[in-house]
């Protein structure tokens, strides 16, 4: 019945949803993330007369809490035998709530269990009860521990946990079975590999991937056929006894999940979002139907990212050193060079320093690597709140462009390494010459920044949506694309005063070009004449990072909020066009350069596939979060002080009303004394070699997408005490030093269940 009603509701909503089948005890993290702080199943059946009764607080109940970013709460028998060392337990008595933390439980799990304790106190006890925390194995001088064990008739040791069964990764991909559903019958389809063309719009198909089962329904199938297909799916799952260890997904053609598409060939991994343009047309149609004269929906105003009244400095990277450019030259970059840009500004009562390492498309590898190292050294020398980012030509985010009043990007380069690399090539080599021939594309962010980018001197470089400047020796021609806007024309005038302040230009409109215009471009040819419309902004996704034996593993945090930024963790906020690597004060990342490398490893084997390695990566540390990062969260700037201790200790202090002790964030991220047995990282660029890196923690993060064999054997490290994010009992784990450069070969695991989420 539930499945039938879900199909009917889906059809009423336009058959554009994805249905997930959830079973008690096997709920997905995505499902649990919608219920804050947790779901607590109640034994028995629902009766209306029980609603609002307050009798539940009169009995002693016991719950097991698991999970790090979602709380998995299960009621267990009130018995000593229910306790173990891996989980966190809550004992709810009429007058007191006891939180028992197993010695092998993770700190994030303990902190998440405190949210459940707060929920129970406010809802079951109306805020009138005491809270006690019990540490597994600590009894001396703890009156709460004595009271806790008296509930079980006295203290007795908890049996040692049985070791978890080691799940070996299969050497081959899991088997896939595709069925065509024909009148409630499953017809196997033999095809390896699977292809998108096998799915017909008037049929329904079932794809069995062991732990996941997908039901795909064609766009032209009837509602009655969809109901029968769902019934076949239910019968298939129950007949094989897989109701409690398999996840099922039901979707309609045109609204497939990324995970489903990955099982088929010739199916684009990138989702083309057309909601933005279609939505604008629908809104215009509604207003027109109601009698309003709608000629064109105005463009959205550009977003103000940061305070644009700050100071800008630009350094050219040359021979492993930095050369500060003059104010006039700092707005002129070359495609063969690398630069370090520092933008300092004041916001929310704090001084921020935003560092960019910009790499031109034709820059050499040595300059790109030196830029990152030199930028890290600069960050350690400034006072304030630093944020670093790695940016590549052609993929600059709007934030990067907004720090420039004007920006001109020329072909060629000025660094010695670039000049040496092109010495054997043509003397011209495509470099810009003040008296030569060149074509510039003009664009901008309204009044924030105007840009002129030198493009290839061919007609195919033109686009009707833009304006261009053609330099033909001493003559300048400005070309207006037929689809360009009046604001683009204003930007064109502004950039002309920057590019050639003493020269007059000849205005040329698309379609009325003189012959010498095409002659300078090498003749007429086809170019794009389609209007470029800004697409619907992609949903941000948050991923928790973990390293196991040198392998990066990430797991998506659904319905994320500021509370998910745990001080023991490193997380990645994926905004599609750029990613942010957030580093907690007590995480295992020890430098901004390492944080950037984590972002590169994420891009190398990105969750959604098809990601460019030239995506902008930001490194943000706890306590230094700028406004353009906090805008993705419900952030209270008045609570920027950071308490001493791990995430559990901080939450406990707030819950008990204790005045928190504050600590100052370590801006450099370098904590050489925190872990004995591991050498600290050198701070000078000359000594920042790939082998001088701290080790990462190791814990499993869930199911894996795929694996590549590592190229470097893990070195041997001296024993070190547990980190603050680990359990309270030392454990032996395999570790591998983190590579200093993304160019070092390294294996990567990526764990994800991708989902769409609106900010």
- Average pLDDT over every residue of 62-66: 95
Q: Is 438 inside any structural domain?
A: yes
pLDDT above 50 (res 684): no
* Average pLDDT over all residues of the chain: 78
- Band of pLDDT at residue 23, cut at 50, 70 and 90: confident
Q: How many domains does the chain have?
A: 4
* Residues 102/136, Cβ–Cβ less than 8 Å: yes
What crossing angle do the helices spanning 107-123 and 647-655 adopt, rounded to 10°? Answer: 20
pTM: 0.79
Q: What are phi and psi of 650, to 5 degrees?
A: -65, -45
- Decide: residue 163, CB within 10 A, 0-12 exposed, 13-18 middle, 19+ buried: exposed
Residues 17 and 40 in one domain: no
Residue the block writes with tokens 């990567």: 748
- Report the percentage of the chain scoring pLDDT > 70: 75
Cα separation of the two ends of the chain:
33
- Provide the pLDDT confidence category of residue 173 given band limits of 50, 70 and 90: low
Query: Three-class SS string for 645-697?
Result: CCHHHHHHHHHCCCCCCEECCCCCCCCCCCCCCCCCCCCCHHHCCCCCCCECC
Q: What angle do CA 339, 342, 345 make, to 5 degrees?
A: 160
What percentage of residues in the chain have a pLDDT greater than 90? 38
Residues 104 and 68 in one domain: yes
Whether residue 124 is found in the same domain as residue 73: yes
- Together in a domain, 412 and 515: yes
- What does the pLDDT look like over 622-653, one tens digit per residue? 989 999 999 999 887 665 556 678 899 988 98
* Residue 346 and residue 252 share a domain: no
What one-character-per-residue DSSP string does 683-747 give? -SGGG--TT--PBPP----S--S-----SSPPPP----PPPTTS-SS-------BPPSSTTS---
**Of 102 and 608, more confident:** 102
End-of-domain residue from the set 654, 686, 705? 654
Half-sphere exposure of 55 (CA within 13 A, CB side): 4
385 lies in the same domain as 354: yes
**Does 550 fall in a domain?**
yes
- Across the range 517-541, mean pLDDT stands at 83
Report residue 306's pLDDT band, with 50, 70 and 90 as the boundaries: confident
Q: Which among 238, 262, 286 is the end of a domain? A: 262
Lowest-confidence region among 24-38, 118-132, 410-424, 633-647: 633-647
* pLDDT at site 343: 95
145 & 206 share domain:
no
Specify if 709 maps to a domain. no
Whether 331 is covered by a domain: the verdict is: yes
* Local confidence band at 254 (pLDDT 50, 70, 90 cut-offs): confident
Q: Is residue 80 part of a domain?
A: yes
pLDDT tens for 495-521 read 887 777 777 788 899 989 999 899 999
Q: Poorest-confidence range of 121-135, 170-184, 277-291? A: 277-291
**Residue 217 counted as domain residue:** yes
Residues 378 and 492 reside in one and the same domain? yes
Residue 232: pLDDT band (50, 70, 90) is: very high
* Residue 118: domain span: 35-45+58-152
Model pLDDT, residue 218: 92
**What's the length of the chain?**
759
Same domain, yes or no: 565 and 517? no
Residues 511 and 591 in one domain: no
DSSP 174: P
DSSP 237-296: HHHTT-TTS-EEEEEETT---HHHHTTSBS--SS----HHHHHHHHHHHHHHHTT---S-
CATH number at residue 210: 3.40.20.10
Average pLDDT on 570-580 reads 93
The reported pLDDT for the residue numbered 642 is 60
Domain-terminating residue out of 122, 152, 182? 152
Is the confidence at residue 349, as pLDDT, over 50? yes
Decide if pLDDT at 528 tops 50.
Answer: yes
Q: State whether 362 and 487 are in the same domain.
A: yes
Side-chain half-sphere CA neighbours of 42 within 13 A: 7
**Beta-sheet strand order (sheet of 321-324):** 321-324, 311-318, 338-347, 350-359, 385-392, 616-621, 578-583, 570-574, 541-548, 551-557
pLDDT score of 104: 92
Q: Do residues 698 and 549 touch, judged by C-beta distance below 8 A?
A: yes
d(CA 296, CA 274): 18
- Both 453 and 335 in one domain: the answer is yes
- Arithmetic mean of pLDDT, 560-582: 93
- Whether 190 is in a domain gets the answer yes
Quote the pLDDT of residue 681: 35
Bridge partner residues of 478 (DSSP): 469, 507
Tens digit of pLDDT for each residue in 458-509? 999 999 989 999 988 878 889 999 888 888 888 888 888 777 777 778 889 9
More confident residue, 123 or 422: 123
Kindly state whether residue 716 falls inside one of the protein's structural domains. Answer: no
């Amino acid at each position: 019945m539930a499945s039938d009603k879900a199909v009917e509701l889906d059809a009423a909503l336009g058959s554009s949803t994805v249905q997930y089948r959830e079973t008690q005890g096997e709920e997905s993290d995505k499902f649990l993330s919608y219920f804050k702080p947790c779901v607590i199943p109640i034994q028995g059946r629902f009766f209306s007369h029980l609603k609002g009764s307050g009798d539940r607080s009169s009995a002693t109940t016991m719950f097991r809490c698991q999970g790090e970013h979602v709380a998995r709460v299960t009621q267990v028998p009130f018995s000593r035998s229910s306790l173990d060392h891996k989980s966190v337990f809550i004992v709810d008595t009429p007058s007191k709530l006891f939180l028992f933390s197993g010695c092998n439980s993770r700190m994030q799990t303990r902190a998440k269990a405190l949210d459940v304790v707060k929920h129970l106190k406010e809802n079951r006890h109306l805020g009138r009860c005491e809270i006690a925390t019990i540490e597994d194995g600590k009894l001396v001088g703890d009156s709460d521990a004595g009271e806790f064990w008296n509930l079980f008739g006295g203290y007795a040791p908890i049996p040692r946990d049985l070791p978890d069964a080691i799940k070996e990764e299969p050497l081959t991909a899991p088997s896939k079975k595709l069925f065509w559903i024909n009148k409630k019958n499953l017809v196997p389809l033999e095809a390896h590999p699977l292809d998108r063309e096998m799915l017909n719009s008037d049929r329904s198909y079932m794809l069995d991937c062991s732990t996941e089962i997908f039901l795909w329904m064609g766009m032209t199938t009837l509602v009655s056929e969809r109901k029968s297909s769902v019934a076949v799916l239910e019968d298939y799952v129950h007949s094989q006894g897989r109701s409690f260890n398999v996840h099922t997904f039901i979707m309609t053609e045109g609204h497939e999940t990324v995970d489903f598409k990955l099982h088929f060939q010739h199916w684009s991994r990138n989702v083309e979002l057309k909601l933005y343009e279609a939505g604008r047309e629908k809104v215009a149609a509604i207003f027109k139907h109601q009698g309003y004269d709608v000629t064109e929906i105005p463009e959205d105003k550009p977003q103000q990212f940061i305070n644009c009244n700050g100071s800008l400095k630009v350094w050219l990277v040359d021979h492993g050193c930095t050369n500060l450019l003059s104010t006039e030259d700092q707005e002129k970059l070359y495609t063969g060079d690398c630069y370090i840009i520092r933008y300092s500004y004041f916001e929310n009562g704090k001084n921020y320093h935003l560092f960019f390492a910009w790499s031109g498309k034709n820059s050499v590898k040595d300059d790109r690597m030196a830029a990152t190292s030199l930028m890290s050294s600069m960050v350690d020398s400034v006072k304030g709140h630093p944020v670093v980012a790695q940016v590549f030509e052609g993929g600059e985010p709007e934030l990067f462009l907004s720090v420039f009043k004007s920006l001109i990007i020329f072909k060629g380069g000025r660094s010695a390494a670039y000049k040496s690399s092109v010495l054997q090539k043509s003397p011209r080599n495509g470099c810009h010459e003040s008296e030569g021939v060149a074509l510039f594309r003009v664009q901008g962010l309204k009044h924030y920044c105007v840009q002129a980018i030198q493009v290839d001197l061919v007609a195919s470089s033109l686009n009707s949506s833009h304006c261009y400047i053609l330099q033909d020796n001493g003559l300048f021609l400005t070309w207006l694309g037929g689809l360009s806007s009046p604001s683009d024309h204003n930007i064109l005038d502004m950039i002309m005063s920057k590019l050639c302040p003493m020269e007059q230009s000849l205005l040329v409109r698309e379609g009325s070009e003189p012959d010498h215009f095409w002659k300078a471009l090498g003749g007429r040819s086809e170019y794009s004449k389609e209007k470029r419309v800004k697409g619907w902004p992609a949903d941000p996704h948050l991923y928790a990072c973990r390293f196991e034996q040198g392998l990066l593993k990430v797991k998506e945090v659904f319905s994320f909020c500021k509370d998910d930024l745990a001080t023991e963790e490193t997380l990645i906020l994926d905004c599609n066009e750029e990613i942010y690597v957030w580093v907690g004060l007590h995480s295992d990342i020890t430098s901004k350069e390492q944080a950037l490398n984590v972002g590169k490893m994420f891009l190398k084997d990105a969750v959604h596939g098809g990601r460019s390695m030239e995506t902008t990566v930001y490194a943000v540390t706890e306590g230094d979060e700028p406004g353009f990062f906090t805008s993705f969260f419900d952030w209270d700037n008045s609570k920027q002080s950071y308490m001493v201790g791990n995430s559990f200790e901080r939450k406990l202090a707030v819950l008990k009303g204790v005045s928190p002790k504050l600590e100052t964030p370590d801006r450099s991220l370098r904590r050489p004394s925190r872990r004995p047995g591991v050498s600290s990282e050198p701070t000078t660029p000359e000594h920042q070699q790939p082998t001088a890196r701290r080790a990462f923690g190791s814990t499993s993060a869930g199911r894996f997408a795929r694996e590549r064999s590592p190229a470097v054997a893990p070195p041997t490290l001296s024993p070190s005490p547990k980190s603050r994010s680990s359990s309270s009992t030392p454990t032996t784990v395999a570790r591998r030093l983190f590579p200093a450069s993304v160019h070092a070969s390294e294996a990567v695991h990526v764990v994800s269940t991708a989902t769409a989420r609106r900010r």
